[in-house]
């Protein structure tokens, strides 16, 4: 019995890294996105991405790899675009009952960086299906209302 409990606990602990926490409402998605973007606009890249961690469906190693890659890429963008000067989020776009896209821009001294968060409504609540950022995605923001 004790051995079975240890195996169950180990399995639950290992699976926790790949099962996301959830948001209970669409309003929470907007609040959360603003929290992430506030940290990004302050230059707190690690803090912003760590907010994402409980809500993405990624193994720990993949998340850490994403975190390190984003940090190094953002340093390159900072040298080209200058310091962060704020952010702006747009009205969330809902597709059916199960998907919500929240688009934002991170404002810098010389340009904008588009951020997109795609939330999926699972049977237990909303989680982050994916997130991305790019200067190349700015033109797509003009198609949000279409």
Phi, psi torsion values for 96, nearest 5 degrees: 65, -145
Element (H, E) at 55: none
Tokens of 91: 């009205």
Give the CATH architecture of domain 2-141: Roll (3.10)
Tokens 């989680």, residue?
127
Residue-wise pLDDT tens digits, 29-87? 999 999 999 999 998 988 999 999 999 888 889 889 988 988 888 888 888 999 999 99
d(CA 128, CA 29): 9
Closest CA to 18 of 42, 46, 53: 53
Q: What is the dihedral of CA 22, 114, 66, 12, to 10 degrees?
A: 0
pTM (2 decimals)? 0.81
d(CA 39, CA 86): 10
Phi, psi torsion values for 112, nearest 5 degrees: -115, 150
Name the average pLDDT for the chain.
84
pLDDT of residue 18: 53
**Pairing, β 112-122 against β 125-134:** antiparallel
- Contact 106/40 with Cβ under 8 angstroms? yes
Residue-wise pLDDT tens digits, 82-133? 999 999 999 999 999 999 999 999 999 999 999 999 999 999 999 999 999 9
């Amino acid at each position: 019995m004790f051995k079975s409990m240890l195996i169950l606990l180990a399995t639950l602990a290992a699976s926790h890294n790949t099962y996301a926490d959830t948001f209970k409402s669409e309003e929470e998605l907007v609040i959360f996105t603003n929290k992430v973007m506030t940290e990004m606009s302050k230059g707190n890249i690690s803090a912003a991405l760590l907010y994402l961690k409980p809500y993405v469906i990624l193994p720990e190693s993949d998340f850490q790899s994403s975190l390190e890659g984003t940090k190094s890429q953002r340093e390159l963008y900072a040298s080209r675009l200058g310091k962060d000067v704020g952010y702006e989020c747009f009205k969330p776009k809902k597709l059916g009952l199960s998907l919500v896209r929240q688009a934002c821009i991170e404002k810098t001294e010389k340009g904008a960086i588009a951020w997109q968060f795609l939330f999926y409504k699972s049977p237990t609540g909303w989680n982050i299906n994916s997130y991305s950022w790019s200067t190349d995605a700015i033109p797509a923001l003009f198609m949000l209302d279409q």
